[in-house]
Structure 1
Amino acid sequence: MTTSGEIRVGIIGAGYISTWHADALRATRSARLVAVCDTSASAAKGFSASYGIEAFTSLDDMIAAGAVDAVHICTPPHLHHGIALQCISAGLHVLVEKPVAMSGDETAQIEAAAQAANVRFAPGHNFLGIPAYARLKRLIADGKLGKISTADITWAFPLGPLRAGPYGIWLMRETKNLLLELAPHLFAFAQDLFGPVEILHLETSKPVALPGGGTRPQAIRLMARAGEVDVNFTLSLVETHDDRSVLLRGSSAMARLDYANDVLTIAAPNSSDLVLNPLRAELCQSWQHLREGTRNALTQLTSLNQKSPYGLSFRGLCAEVYGAIAESRPTDPRFSGASAVAIMHSLDAALALMPADPKPKKPRGKPKPDTIVIGGTGFIGRALTRKLVERGHDVRVLSRGSTGPFNDIANHVETYAASLSDEVALTESMQGIKYVYNLAKSLDTTWEAALENDVGTALRVARAAQAAGVERLVYTGTIASYDMSDPGVTITEDTAFGDMGDRNIYARSKAECERRLMQMHRNEGLPLVIARPAIVIGVGGPLQHWGIGRWHGAGAIRLWGRGHHVLPFALIDDTAEALVRMIEVAEAVGESFNLAGEPMFSARGYFDAIHEALGARIKVSSGPLWPFYAADAVKFFLKTKALRRKGLDRPSLKDWKSRAHFSRFDNTKAKQVLGWQPEPDMSRFVDKAIVQANLLGF
């Protein structure tokens, strides 16, 4: 520990979940975030720059440096066990994201090692740290609910990767991973409230077909018993209304904890007569919802949105774990290693009841790739890869992982692990390759990070392609780089992007990538083609497409603008066809193409079509864009002045109007040069974009 008494903490793994841990640690009195470790140098550097901490790319180096007293392990779950044991053997406290390991036995090994080394091991069951859960436990302890007989613990929240990918991530590799990823949240509540969970029955439903073969269930239900309480666990992962809740039925009252929103309400009988009884009951519920909503709104407002319910859950977790270490007292059972072991043994029992995944068929032949697709496991990349195979190409898909959604065509597609930050490895991967597609993108929050992760990557890929002597490099930019704020303008490939200084970082960085790549084409002969996909929809795409508006769950969207102007939609199959033609047509070299389909419908027309085709009425709201801009401006001021953050993109009204896609697109060039023929028939377009796309998942 440091001389100040603070526990120095490092984070292992710089992915999405790590930012929540980092923000919580910065708010924890007895801990200080000092380091991050990730095997990706760019990820580690970007994370360290955001938080002003030291960056490592090797766990051995971080341990040898003596930089930390504790670590948060936020890597993919199958790596947790080995990393935890290594850190414990070095005398470090470990907090491990759920699932803490792949089995109860592995978890027990971590706990035994921690006990032997006299260090702490805590599971990252963050939802047990929200304030409303502490209030629920006090109600139970005070007997306000009476004797509890049954509990329903639910996770009903859409899981996009089931229907739109990416499919190569750990979560999607096996059916059991869905349960390993999500069930610890549910089991942790039951374990903490009532005792060890005994699994009685499991069933799955609503299967969804995966690209490449196989299915995954989108609903899992378990019957269980914990102590004297009968417990029903429900996982629903289709496009559904968000219901992440714990419902307890007691002899005196019923309590419902909405743990995603930090809301606790109680339903209890009252002593009024038959006439006033229903009124009092509903008024009581209304008052409680008003109280909870007002409290949460004020909390987020006064904290500059730093205390969202999800953020508070991590703060509660960290406050307890590091408070116990600093005060040399036992960790609360919610976050103890013993509870983690019990939860994982219950998960073992549930997994034993899960249907086994069929073994994938072995490919009959080995691919002989002539084409590389970078970003081939994404929405457009998957469709492009399959279209290339249809055209007679064998494809090498570059990915950080070793698996992809191509089991059914594995004799024509190979997945190749290569880091986009390693130019030597990229060059090696392109040996003997004729065509390279770069569909990679980086969603950075600062311009400096975008220059490294997006622009830098595009240039490394281009230099590697030049060194390997490829015949064609197709780079995917975005129509978002255009100024689309003027309804009176029709955009063609001759339309300039204009001043990008007041545009969002994504649009700006993609434009910068294009500029530098075209310089390489003119000066060095880079055989470049630029594609700018529009709003791509269809099979394999998500319902919640953020190119249309801001989504609030699966059932509500706030459009960018009023939603009456025609949007530049394009079918995924048409987009993939255009991309393939870019390596087939010699005249495409040195050119750019805007891949917007034929004019079909507005945003409101799109959601009307969804209602007519699927029977789902999504709540659509709209209005002027200046409130978005005003809110963005206030956030920018607070982040830069109050929170001292640097490198953020400055908001502009023009940028917000561009998100609405007010300007129309002329796709004549793609038709004339590439011979492209996007779908012109409205009924066929709707069938492909909505019906066949299975937007709701069921």
Structure 2
Amino acid sequence: MTQVAILGAGYIADYHVKALRRLDGVEVRAICDLNQNLAQQFASSHGIPKTYGDLGTMLSQENLDVVHVLTPPHIHFPTAQQILNAGVDTFIEKPLCHTVEACQTLRQQAIDQGRQIGVSHNFLYFPAYEKLTAAIAAGELGQLDQVDIIWNKPLGAVRGGPFGLWMLQSPTNILFEVCPHSFSHALHLVGEPDTLHVDAYDKVDLPRGLAFYRRWDIQARRGNVAMRLRFSFIDGYPEHYIMVRGTHGSAIVDFERNLYQFKSHTPYMLDLDRFANTWKPAKEELAQGVQTLGGVVLSKMKLTQQTAPFAESIARTVADFYQHRGGTLDERVASVMGEGTVKLAERIAAAANLPIPTPTHPETVADLPKSTVLVLGGTGFIGQALVKRLREDGYGVRLLSRNPNGCPPAVLKLGVEVVRGDFTKPETIDAAMSGIEYVLHLARGNGKTWEDYQKTDVEPTRQLAELCLKHKIKRLVYTSSVAIYNASNAKTVINEETLADPGMMRVAPYSRSKVENENQLLELHKTQGLPVVITRPGVVLGVGGNPYHWGIAAWNYTSVCNLWGKGENPLPIVLVDDIADALVKAMTQPQIEGETYNLASRPCISANDYIDEIEHQAHVKIRRVPLSARRMYTMSLLKWGLKKVGRDRHAAFPSYADCAGRRLASQFDCSKAERELGWQPVTDRELLVSEGIHLPVKEWLS
């Protein structure tokens, strides 16, 4: 058996492991990540025997043949060197390295030590792209004239972080992180350009004095073949395609839809020729679309190994490397191509001639007040509003952050103490408790399954509560959610005594974790006197929030939303500043330990009203698709059936209550918070619309 390990447990690791599982004679023995909790979670969900937090330890303890390097680009060189020195081959997710010099050093090292390096430029193995290269090789396009390569895909990190990502640390890093996909196509189809002209524009200022350019236009030429590469990272309809024009025909590869379209002259007269070049491609596109969809459905049912096109391209890349490992690698996966894309990236970076900003240290207030309040989740949407309110009231605030350098500048300017730590690591929480009197818990877990939430949310919350008892904290305020309720009936009045719906808990890990956290915190209050107060915010809106809010509708795309029901019932909306006010009051109000408070304003805005305001403010048209509970439930049953056929052990039988409750049609009685906390949320409709919808839309579109 070929023994393989994975270095890096990010999202791409899932694709690599599934690709490896399709190969005979290959065994995934271990996964290594600096975040051992993430590594353990990944290993558990994929049945990988061993986990490590250190590459050297893994290399010394495992008898490995290949390590897949799936880390940020600037880590590729030192880790690959370490792997090669251990006598192990390496397969590296693009780019090979982040400098040509490092690429050359690494390639020579592999030659000297008799090892092999493979580089995953997986779009070179895309099924539709392989049709294009076959057509070019067969001479169907004639002599090449023009090649246009388009990558128009939103990059969410530019707007909301995390701003510590390597690709955001310099304006040209994106050329090595994302753009090598397209650079590899340019080199594979045409070769290294003779000339280059680069225009980078649409600058966005980032924290710490950094900058990002959201649009790139690259014009190049090799001999008589013109090339144009365009990249756009703004929000919008995603496009990823290659258009090739030759003397005998033209072709398009659409990666988003996995379509290949070829046009050339027919034997017919001009008008009939044009008709044939309309009818034939349309028929072929339909057939390819049906084939792609059918493949996805069959793969989910585990009736075929073939998967969705992107996953299939990675699987083909991995398979080709292992098939030729020990011999001559295909040019698409060989390290020569890896070095070539990095060389092209360096040439484009030089031609762009952008000012490279020097990262500044985060701005902080010189004389910080003594920290008495610890906020977990303080860099999130609600957390930032809460920190602002605490500082306005004179409290010294300590934040816990995995990466303090990525803390939003607006928060740092308030004068807060930021310490490095992780909510899932109790030792870092324990260290952060020194001198703290109050703890405000807004952090949340993540994952897809109940097991994931148990590890990343439920267990850490219990450990936090025990630490609060150990340090004799005066008050722990836990932020839950109204998502625990079945709010489907417009005649039902929901208050703090309303029980969570069992059907919803069964299928919704997020809601279930909130209920489990509430229960264990209240049990510790009863048995050990934990001074806890629980809040359940409604649909929270305001500056800093995404206006495409899933509490309003389902936003698979910003241009189309699925309404929960008809979208006509008023929703339990509340402004984020009012939530911050309620949390501070819950922290300080005496003799309310063990109490729970629902937090929502007077309902006066429906989902349709909300979308009307977005359309008016942003000057856009949003398509609305009403989804009845019955239709949602039927769709959920179909998805469940596919997962069961595919033997998905996490597939939960759908809950009608979960489908119906998303309407949030019930009336929420929040009088307890108003009465016991003295809380007075904004109820004026014009102010709710202005601060909760208009301002976030303006901010989002800026």
TM-score, normalised to structure 2, is 0.91
Conserved in 1, the CA contact under 8 Å of 2:481 and 2:514?
A: yes
1:580 paired residue number: 584
Partner of 1:655: 658
2:256 to 247, 260, 282: 260
Structure 1 residue 120, shift from structure 2 partner: 2.2
Structure 1 CA distance for aligned equivalents of residues 206 and 150 of structure 2: 25
In structure 2, C-alpha distance between the alignment counterparts of 1:508 and 1:290, rounded to whole Å: 42
On the 8 A contact 2:43/2:51 being kept in 1, the answer is no
1:425-453 CA-to-partner distances (Å, cap 9, x unmatched) read 21111111223222222233332332222
2:58 is aligned, of 55, 62, 68, to 62
How many Å separate the matches in 1 of 2:686 and 2:174? 36
Contact 1:36 1:56 in 2 (8 A): yes
Give CA deviations for 1:193-220 in whole Å, capped at 9, x if unaligned: 1123567333333444556776533323
Correspondence for 2:406: 404
Match of 1:503 in 2: 507
Picking from 315, 324, 344, the partner of 1:346 is 344
- How far off its partner does 1:135 sit? 0.7
Using the alignment, how far apart are the partners of 1:331 and 1:610 within structure 2? 53
Are 1:588 and 1:674, in contact at CA under 8 Å, matched by a contact in 2? no
Are residues 1:311 and 2:311 paired? yes
What's 1:27 paired with?
Answer: 22
Residue 297, structure 1, aligned to residue 293, structure 2: yes
Q: Which residue of 2 aligns with 1:514?
A: 518
Check conservation: 2:375, 2:442, Cα contact below 8 A: yes
Q: Structure 2 counterpart of 1:350, which letter?
A: I
C-alpha distance after superposition, 1:560-592 (max 9, x if no partner)? 333222233333333333333333433554322
- Matching residue's letter, 1:217: Y
Output one character per residue of 1:618-654: Cα deviation in whole Å (capped at 9) or x when no partner.
22212323343334334434444543x4344432121
Deviation track 1:396-435 (CA, whole Å, cap 9, x = no partner) reads 3222223223335536234322233332221111111223
- Count of aligned residue pairs for this structure pair: 690
**Equivalence for 1:688:** 691
Q: Deviations over 1:492-517 (max 9, x none)?
A: 22211142553311111121011101
Please state whether the residue corresponding to 2:561 is helix, strand or coil.
strand
* Structure-2 residue corresponding to 1:424: 427
Which range is displaced more, 111-120 or 187-196? 111-120
Contact 1:371/1:434 (<8 A) preserved: yes
Aligned with 1:388 (options 390, 394, 407): 390
In the TM superposition, what is the alpha-carbon distance from 1:174 to its structure 2 partner? 4.3
Q: Residue 348 of structure 2: SS of its match in structure 1?
A: helix
Of stretches 256-265 and 526-535 in structure 1, the one that deviates more from structure 2 is 526-535
Answer with 154-163 or 406-415: which moved more: 406-415
C-alpha change, 1:250 and 1:68, in structure 2 (3 Å) is: same
Query: What's the counterpart of residue 570 of structure 1?
Result: 574
Q: Distance in 2 between matches of 1:199 and 1:369?
A: 58
Residues 12, 659 of structure 1: alpha-carbon distance in 2 compared, 3 angstrom cutoff = farther
Q: Percent identity?
A: 31
Residue in structure 2 matching 1:337, options 319, 322, 335? 335
Q: Determine the structure 2 residue equivalent to 1:217.
A: 213
Amino acid at match of 1:598: R
Q: Match for residue 239 of structure 2?
A: 243
Q: Taking structure 1 as reference, are residues 213 and 344 closer, same or farther at Cα in structure 2, changes over 3 Å only? A: closer
Secondary structure of 1:334's counterpart equals coil
SS in 2 for 1:563: coil
| Residue ranges of structure 2 left out of the alignment (5+ in a row) | none
Q: Structure 1 residue 607 and structure 2 residue 607: aligned? A: no
What's the secondary structure of 2:196's corresponding residue? Answer: strand
CA spacing shift, 1:687–1:123, aligned 2, 3 Å: farther
User: What's 2:630 paired with?
Assistant: 626
Report the 3-state secondary structure (helix = DSSP H, G, I; strand = E; otherwise coil) of the residue aligned with 1:532.
strand
**Aligned-pair CA distance for 1:243:** 0.6
Which moves more between the two structures, 629-638 or 519-528?
Answer: 629-638
Structure 1, gaps ≥5 residues long: none
Matched residue SS, 1:455: helix
Cα distance in 1 for partners of 2:620, 2:28 equals 46
Say which SS state the counterpart of residue 523 (structure 2) adopts: helix
Structure 1 residues 428-481: Cα deviation after superposition (integer angstroms, max 9, x where no partner): 111112232222222333323322221001112222232233332222222211
Of the three residues 172, 176, 180, the one matched with 1:180 is 176
Given that 1:446 and 1:649 are in contact with CA atoms closer than 8 Å, whether structure 2 keeps it comes out as no
The corresponding residue for 2:474 is 471
Residues 611 and 679 of structure 1, relative CA distance in 2, 3 Å threshold: same
8 A contact 2:501–2:657 mirrored in 1? no
Please list, as runs of the form range in 1=range in 2, the aligned pairs for 1:52-201 lying within 5 A after superposition: 52-57=47-52, 58-197=54-193, 200-201=196-197
Q: Does 1:670 align with 2:665?
A: no
The amino acid that maps onto 2:289 is G
| Counterparts of 1:346 and 1:390, CA distance in 2 | 51
Contact 2:252–2:260, Cα closer than 8 Å, also in 1: yes
Whether the 8 Å contact between 1:28 and 1:315 is mirrored in structure 2 is no
1-structure distance, mates of 2:81, 2:553 = 45
Superposed displacement of residue 684, structure 1: 3.5
DSSP 3-state at the match of 1:502: helix
Relative to 1, partners in 2 of residues 1:596 and 1:24: Cα closer, same or farther, differing over 3 Å?
farther
The answer to whether the 8 Å contact 2:208/2:360 transfers is no
Report the residue type matching 2:590 in the other structure.
A
Q: Distance in 1 between matches of 2:527 and 2:640?
A: 39
Q: What is the RMSD of the two structures over their aligned residues, measured on CA atoms?
A: 2.8
Q: Tell me if 1:17 matches 2:12.
A: yes
CA distance in 1, matches of 2:388, 2:163: 15
* 3-state secondary structure, aligned to 2:665: coil
The correspondence of residues 544-563 of structure 1 with structure 2, limited to 5 A, is 544-563=548-567
1-side partners of 2:45 and 2:471: how far apart?
Answer: 35
Taking the aligned partners of 1:267 and 1:513, their CA distance within structure 2 comes to 60
Does the alignment pair 1:356 with 2:356? Answer: yes
Structure 2 CA distance for partners of 1:177 and 1:583, relative to 1, 3 Å: farther
- Give the alignment partner of residue 539 of structure 2, picking from 531, 535, 538: 535
Amino acid at match of 1:181: E
**Kept in 1: contact 2:142–2:247 (CA 8 A):** yes
CA distance in 1, matches of 2:377, 2:173: 23
Q: Secondary structure at 1:303's aligned position in 2? A: helix
Residue in structure 1 matched with residue 378 of structure 2 by the alignment: 376
| Greater mean deviation of Cα atoms: 157-166 or 214-223 | 214-223
Contact kept in structure 1, 2:67 and 2:88, CA below 8 Å: yes
C-alpha deviation, 1:67, in angstroms: 4.4
Render the CA deviation track for 1:305-335: whole Å, top value 9, x for unaligned: 761122112111111111111xx33221111
The answer (yes or no) to whether the contact 2:120–2:318 under 8 Å persists in 1 is: no
**Distance change (3 Å), C-alpha of 1:559 and 1:312:** farther
Structure 2 letter corresponding to 1:505 = P
TM-score (normalised: structure 1)? 0.91
CA contact (8 A) 2:30 2:48 kept: yes
Cα distance change of structure 1 residues 586 and 43 upon mapping to structure 2, 3 Å threshold: same
